A and B are shown apart, each in its own frame.
Chain A
Amino acid sequence: MRPQNTDERLPTKSMLAALWQLKQFVLPYKAGLFTGIGAFGIARLFEVMVPVLTAVAINKMASDDFEITLQVFGIILAVLARYCVVTFARFNVRKVALKVSYDLRQQLFEKLQQQGSEFFGQYSIGDMMTRAVADISLIQRLISMGTILVIILVYAAIVGFGFMLYYSPMLTLLLLPPMPIIFFYAQHSSKAMGEASEKVQERLSDLGTHTQENLSGIRTIQAMVQEDNEIDRFSETNQAYADVFYEQGRITSAMASWMPSLAAVCSLTILSYGGYQVLQGTLPIGDFVAFFMLVGMVVQPFRVAGFIINLFQRAAVASRRLFEVFDRPPEINDDPSGNTPTTISGNLRIKNLSYTYPGAAIPALHDISFKLQRGETVTIMGRVGSGKTTLLKQIVRLIDPKPEAVWIDGHPVKDYPLSQLRAQVAMVPQDPFLFAEPLKDNLTYDEPNRMLEKIWEAATSADLKNTIDGFPDKLDTLIGERGVTLSGGQKQRATLARGLIRNAPLLILDDCFSAVDTETEDHILSELKRLRREQTTLLVSHRVSTARHADRIIIIDEGTILETGSHEQLIAKHGYYAELERVQREGAEEDDLERLRLNIQ
């Protein structure tokens, strides 16, 4: 998965607005968050006791007083107390971050399930995965680390600078000038790091995609003797990855050298001016040592702040991307009228149905009308892209039809509860998608607790029984990369069984026989005839041998109905269908293509 551009920048105002949106997710855990922040403050006070008591102890030693038991005892106590408090604080804050990211994931999953083809025409699955993985983890890090920023900035400034000012105001002021440089250098390099690591991720994902796609096509590659060319091509991808990886290493390494060097400017200031004061006798030697210990505490915020400002920026973008999904209304509204029958009997009516995809210039469907009586079987035929699938999707409201365009049993589909509509109108989509789960769970996907016999029945009707018997674990065989990979025909038959098992009053089959051989198809069609005598079936096919079994055939072209009638009627009509039938039976002549085209016009 290629990470999206997560390093885009927002102006401060919209950055804060984007982060402010998160408040509804954070507020439920405010108690934990504030407890954590409070505890961090206390921990800082304990922490600063170590250099303070060290200073006292060394000062005593310098003045030949060697009774420092009290100070040592104080140091140990302060360390123990700090350990307890800081552990408590860190755990609290991390817990809040975890809870928030849990809630964000839940919300994202729920919202995405309500989206449909329009949404996924606009956003890719990979994009959504990036939001689920990278964006949520950015926000998680913002909470667990961003809080620490506030703490460090406020407490370190107050506590650290407070004590230093107490020791030597002049020296403290001299320490200030390098701080902005440290801050900007940190911010600059963390931005550069972010960009570099994004490039590394991109190239790594290229490498993965390249390898995966190459190995998937290994048979063709070997058949075409392309191994050497492919190895050369891989070598380029491999080198590109090595290059960006090296660049990332360079930035990290430069930072590892220069960040401590910038901080060393502070040590130099203490060494020179502090040393001078000690020589002058205006600064006790213990305080001089304490300065070295305290300076880290003061430099750290500026070092970290640079990183965390970037984290804020990136988390704001992440938040905006997440809310883009959260704020999107569901594509299909479930708003039943309440006066629809509880059982659909299977009369379908399409009335002046037109549909234009958002952003498209030409309608995908134009003024389609036809009726299906309970018990009828109708085949829809037409070229690829003629609008068949668009039509079928509107019956189960995968795409919302215009109001009063699609009717079932005398009610517009909109009036049925969505779950009832989809339970009683079974659709088998064109793309035979199977989940990486046991075959059994795939076949009875809509109702996980079905009896085994029912599953076997449907599998038998879809001519899948022999296939399943050939699997080591029968119905429990795992499907997919980690289990058994099914052939195209097997997949189609499995999805067909998944539709048949529901014994729905209205069954919609979207070109489900294309990868099934004719013999098998014939068997399945006669099964359909036997099982669904009393029920309505609507199917799409390219084959005349399939269509001829139907009570009626509807030819769709460029979104309108071209011909309709029974096999015999259409043959007698000598139109498109008749030509199709002849071509499929006899094969093509030179001018057949032209004639088919002419028939359409």
Chain B
Amino acid sequence: MSIARTKNEQPKKRDYAMFDADISGAVLNMSLLRRLLHWLKPYSGALLVSTVLVLFASTLQVLLPIIISLVVIDHIIQGETSTDTPDFGLIELNTWLSNSLDLPPLIAACALYATIQIIWAFVGHAHRMTLIGSVINGLRDLRLDLFRHLETRPSSFYDRVAVGRVMTRVTNDVEALYELLRGLGTLIGEFVPFFVALAVMLAIDTPLTLMLLMALPLLALVTYYFRRSTRFLFRQVRQTISTLNQTLQENLAGLQVVQISDRQAFNLNRYTDVNGNNRAYEQKLARVETLYGAFNESLAHIAIGLILYYGASKVMTVTMSIGEVVLFTQFVGMLFHPVVVLGEQTNILFRAMASGERIFQALDWDEKIHEPENPASLPNRLDGKVEFKKVSFAYDPAMPILKDVSFTIAAGEKLAIVGPTGSGKSTLIRLLGRFYDFADEQIFLDGIDLNQIHTRDLRKRVGVVLQDFHIFSGSIYDNIALGNPNVTRTKAIEAAQTVNADDFISALPDGYDSALTERGQNLSQGQRQLLAFARVLASDPEILVLDEATANIDTETELLIQDALERLTQGRTSIIIAHRLQTIQDADRVLVLDQGQVAEIGNHEELLAAQGLYATLHALQFQSEERAEESR
């Protein structure tokens, strides 16, 4: 079996709604973090350096208050030094400095302070740069991998999921992961000084330190409740703001309809409701935030009072120095701060968990077109004979689209497909480009089973022009050549001339070098169609498949298109979903599709004579041909 799926095998049931659903990752998902490490691995060296630097910087940060309290106040001013107080050798260093440079000890302390401050600044900067550098690079790689994965998902995937939702995974969700990783980095930078400060405090006075630590559970509890209530409010604020913006955006996009429907007052009322809703949540959030805002600094200030009170009794019994009391007041902030930061990071953490899940869900989405194990090698030039043998197909097993469709197109033949909306015309041509998986032995190209040809090879031979042609960012020339080195500039111009596109291209200020925006807003619909023709002609496929556009095109442009189409199909097997009488009449044969089955097939005259569906359609399109004839 050369292909993964045979006729009998049912396609995997997929819940596409899951892809669009909001995943709310409320739990800490360790496996997700582990998976994320895969993208950070290439930068593990830099991350290691960053970690070492943060430890160093944190230690320096703790040294600065020690210079003020233990070195200057205790040692230099008070002249007392307690040997069991960890001063990181600063007193000795200071003495050595003042002796060897012959400076007063106070000046030496100042020099020490300044030096440490400057080293801290550089080390801190180096730490942050190595950290964000690695994180940015890792996530850049992740984003590219994600894009690569999405770029190769089949049409069946994009039929079912909203492009906007897929896009936010590439942008916002990866963004949230950045916040997460940077947040984790920040936490390390908070906890190291915490532990160093804690060790120093414990060494100076254990009971006081333990007493201060007792405030932590209180702080943690308040922070927890604060974060919990704001998490809900934040979500509401975000949601109402986004509704607010959507309402405005839509109202502006459809303003003309709003005005001709006289709905301004009604819409303003609706907007007022949303605006009021948003303000109500914002106010609730403001209340909670302001209540919490001054809480932890107040707690730290109260702690200062307690330290002084306790410290006074200790200084009285000479078990503590004044400098040590001051050191406690300086360190108490470092003790409380990590809890506050941890609180700040939880919201980001939870949001990032959900984002991570969404990203990995997309990366794990393994829907694809099955490729043959041993793809058939195609000759340099195919004849272009296409055979449909009892083709049955359904997107959803409950709703068959094509039922036993059989027909053959001879090499070089031009076949027009007509039929009512929903008859399966588009599906037929989509299968020919293998945009969907179907069973083996149903469609043959020059006698080769289509499923035995790799899609990449196939699509180079089958040129498909869809109704919704995509314009790539770049110049007109880029859009015709599409990176194919065989399409030289001369060839591109030739192709454009052949399909009547040269006139309008040459009229553009920069000719073939004119930049096009994606979606091609700077071209009219007719011009876009002609450009799409030039593109497919330049790639010179053996088989042309075209879904004719039925857009707002005036007769003059339509004539240009018809004329171009005639040249495009010359000497090429062509299958066209036709909407215009002209196209149909020029076809060698017409296939009438009705409810997924071949209703009629034959040339224009034969079908008219048969008085079937084709004759009816034709009559509708040009009911009073005779009357028109008469008046001429």
Q: Are B620 and A522 in contact (CB under 8 A)?
A: yes
Contact of B253 among A125, A209, A488 (CB under 8 A): A125
Question: How far apart sit A94 and B132, CA to CA, in the bound complex (Å)?
Answer: 33
- As a 0/1 sequence over residues 443 to 485 of chain B, the CB contacts with chain A under 8 angstroms (1 = contact) are 0000000000001100110011011111111000000001100
B2 interface residue per 8 A CB criterion: no
Chain B neighbourhood of A225, CB < 8 A: 456, 459-460
Question: How far apart sit A58 and B315, CA to CA, in the bound complex (Å)?
Answer: 10
Contact of B459 among A57, A113, A224 (CB under 8 A): A224
Contact of B68 among A212, A221, A231, A292 (CB under 8 A): A292
Contact stretch, chosen from B81-89, B107-115, B198-206, B401-409: B107-115
Q: Are B559 and A593 in contact (CB under 8 A)?
A: yes
Question: How far apart sit A592 and B566, CA to CA, in the bound complex (Å)?
Answer: 15
Contact stretch, chosen from B27-35, B347-355, B622-630: B622-630
A178 interface residue per 8 A CB criterion: no
A530 interface residue per 8 A CB criterion: no
Contact stretch, chosen from A102-110, A187-195, A302-310, A345-353: A102-110
Question: How far apart sit A571 and B463, CA to CA, in the bound complex (Å)?
Answer: 41
A514 interface residue per 8 A CB criterion: yes
Contact stretch, chosen from A77-85, A359-367, A372-380: A77-85
- A219 touching B144 in the complex, CB below 8 Å, given contacts A102-B276, A272-B110: no
Q: Are B482 and A110 in contact (CB under 8 A)?
A: no
Q: Are A213 and B519 in contact (CB under 8 A)?
A: yes
B308 interface residue per 8 A CB criterion: yes
Contact stretch, chosen from B40-48, B264-272, B389-397: B264-272
Question: How far apart sit A542 and B308, CA to CA, in the bound complex (Å)?
Answer: 90
Question: How far apart sit A542 and B525, CA to CA, in the bound complex (Å)?
Answer: 14
Instruction: Point out which of B64, B464, B551, B555 has the most chain A C-beta atoms below 10 A from its C-beta.
Output: B555
Chain B neighbourhood of A583, CB < 8 A: 555, 559
Distance (whole angstroms) from the CB of B545 to the closest CB of chain A: 9
**How many pairs of residues, A versus B, come closer than 8 Å at their CB atoms?**
410
Q: Are B136 and A429 in contact (CB under 8 A)?
A: no
B5 interface residue per 8 A CB criterion: no
Contact of A211 among B128, B147, B278, B435 (CB under 8 A): B147
B556 interface residue per 8 A CB criterion: yes
- A219 touching B124 in the complex, CB below 8 Å, given contacts A272-B110, A542-B552: no
- As a 0/1 sequence over residues 62 to 88 of chain A, the CB contacts with chain B under 8 angstroms (1 = contact) are 101010110111011001101100110
Q: Are A212 and B279 in contact (CB under 8 A)?
A: no
- As a 0/1 sequence over residues 247 to 279 of chain B, the CB contacts with chain A under 8 angstroms (1 = contact) are 011111111111111111011100110011011
Q: Are B305 and A61 in contact (CB under 8 A)?
A: no
Chain A neighbourhood of B621, CB < 8 A: 518, 545
Q: Are B552 and A61 in contact (CB under 8 A)?
A: no
Q: Are A271 and B252 in contact (CB under 8 A)?
A: no
Contact residues of B between 555 and 601, Cβ < 8 Å to A: 555-560, 562-563, 579, 581-582, 585-586
- As a 0/1 sequence over residues 217 to 258 of chain A, the CB contacts with chain B under 8 angstroms (1 = contact) are 111111111110111011100110110011001100110111
Q: Are B466 and A223 in contact (CB under 8 A)?
A: yes
Q: Are A234 and B147 in contact (CB under 8 A)?
A: yes
Contact of A514 among B268, B468, B551 (CB under 8 A): B551
Question: How far apart sit A481 and B164, CA to CA, in the bound complex (Å)?
Answer: 7
- A249 touching B552 in the complex, CB below 8 Å, given contacts A109-B271, A125-B253: no
B175 interface residue per 8 A CB criterion: yes
B235 interface residue per 8 A CB criterion: no
Question: How far apart sit A593 and B500, CA to CA, in the bound complex (Å)?
Answer: 12
Question: How far apart sit A208 and B174, CA to CA, in the bound complex (Å)?
Answer: 12
Distance (whole angstroms) from the CB of A99 to the closest CB of chain B: 7
Chain A neighbourhood of B16, CB < 8 A: none
Question: How far apart sit A422 and B265, CA to CA, in the bound complex (Å)?
Answer: 14
Q: Are A445 and B555 in contact (CB under 8 A)?
A: no
Q: Are A517 and B579 in contact (CB under 8 A)?
A: yes
B420 interface residue per 8 A CB criterion: yes
Distance (whole angstroms) from the CB of A253 to the closest CB of chain B: 4
Distance (whole angstroms) from the CB of B219 to the closest CB of chain A: 14
Contact stretch, chosen from A5-13, A126-134, A312-320, A336-344: A126-134
Q: Are B322 and A242 in contact (CB under 8 A)?
A: no
Question: How far apart sit A279 and B628, CA to CA, in the bound complex (Å)?
Answer: 115
Contact of A585 among B309, B315, B628 (CB under 8 A): B628
Contact of B77 among A95, A132, A279, A445 (CB under 8 A): A279
A276 interface residue per 8 A CB criterion: yes
Contact stretch, chosen from B6-14, B91-99, B293-301: B293-301
A143 interface residue per 8 A CB criterion: no
- A90 touching B171 in the complex, CB below 8 Å, given contacts A61-B312, A585-B625: no
Q: Are A102 and B279 in contact (CB under 8 A)?
A: yes
Q: Are B167 and A215 in contact (CB under 8 A)?
A: yes
Number of residues of chain A lying within 8 A (CB) of chain B? 156
Q: Are A423 and B262 in contact (CB under 8 A)?
A: yes
Q: Are A75 and B256 in contact (CB under 8 A)?
A: no
- A593 touching B304 in the complex, CB below 8 Å, given contacts A79-B298, A95-B283, A433-B256: no
B36 interface residue per 8 A CB criterion: no
Question: How far apart sit A427 and B257, CA to CA, in the bound complex (Å)?
Answer: 9
Q: Are B147 and A231 in contact (CB under 8 A)?
A: yes
Q: Are B279 and A222 in contact (CB under 8 A)?
A: no
Q: Are A275 and B263 in contact (CB under 8 A)?
A: no
A580 interface residue per 8 A CB criterion: yes
Chain B neighbourhood of A292, CB < 8 A: 68
Q: Are B158 and A253 in contact (CB under 8 A)?
A: no
Instruction: Point out which of B153, B250, B257 has the most chain A C-beta atoms below 10 A from its C-beta.
Output: B257
Question: How far apart sit A427 and B136, CA to CA, in the bound complex (Å)?
Answer: 52
- As a 0/1 sequence over residues 114 to 130 of chain B, the CB contacts with chain A under 8 angstroms (1 = contact) are 10011011101100110
- As a 0/1 sequence over residues 503 to 534 of chain A, the CB contacts with chain B under 8 angstroms (1 = contact) are 00000000100111111101000000000000
Question: How far apart sit A58 and B622, CA to CA, in the bound complex (Å)?
Answer: 104
Contact stretch, chosen from B226-234, B284-292, B372-380, B490-498: B284-292
Question: How far apart sit A220 and B558, CA to CA, in the bound complex (Å)?
Answer: 22
Chain A neighbourhood of B483, CB < 8 A: 226, 229
Q: Are B167 and A90 in contact (CB under 8 A)?
A: no
B550 interface residue per 8 A CB criterion: yes
B100 interface residue per 8 A CB criterion: no
Chain A neighbourhood of B124, CB < 8 A: 253, 256-257
B239 interface residue per 8 A CB criterion: no
Contact of B262 among A79, A80, A235, A422 (CB under 8 A): A422
Q: Are B482 and A224 in contact (CB under 8 A)?
A: yes
Chain A neighbourhood of B62, CB < 8 A: none
- A246 touching B132 in the complex, CB below 8 Å, given contacts A129-B249, A264-B117: yes
A112 interface residue per 8 A CB criterion: yes
Q: Are B294 and A83 in contact (CB under 8 A)?
A: yes
Chain A neighbourhood of B555, CB < 8 A: 383, 542, 580, 583-584, 596
A436 interface residue per 8 A CB criterion: yes
**What residue in chain B is nearest A428 (Cβ atoms)?**
B260
**What residue in chain B is nearest A75 (Cβ atoms)?**
B305
B433 interface residue per 8 A CB criterion: yes
A368 interface residue per 8 A CB criterion: no
**What residue in chain B is nearest A579 (Cβ atoms)?**
B555
B534 interface residue per 8 A CB criterion: no
Distance (whole angstroms) from the CB of B480 to the closest CB of chain A: 11
Chain A neighbourhood of B170, CB < 8 A: 207-208, 211
Question: How far apart sit A220 and B311, CA to CA, in the bound complex (Å)?
Answer: 77
Chain A neighbourhood of B308, CB < 8 A: 54, 57-58, 68, 71-72, 75
Q: Are A257 and B125 in contact (CB under 8 A)?
A: yes
Contact of A278 among B77, B140, B143, B552 (CB under 8 A): B77
A282 interface residue per 8 A CB criterion: no
Chain B neighbourhood of A261, CB < 8 A: 117-118, 120-121
B316 interface residue per 8 A CB criterion: yes
**7 interchain pairs, CB-CB under 8 A:** A50-B304, A108-B248, A125-B253, A218-B153, A542-B555, A578-B632, A585-B625
- Having A117-B256, A542-B555, one finds 14 other A-B pairs with CB under 8 Å, namely A61-B311, A72-B305, A72-B308, A102-B278, A211-B147, A225-B459, A234-B144, A250-B129, A256-B125, A264-B64, A271-B113, A498-B257, A519-B420, A542-B558
8 tightest A-B contacts by CB?
Answer: A217-B470, A220-B470, A446-B261, A587-B582, A75-B305, A257-B121, A253-B128, A213-B518
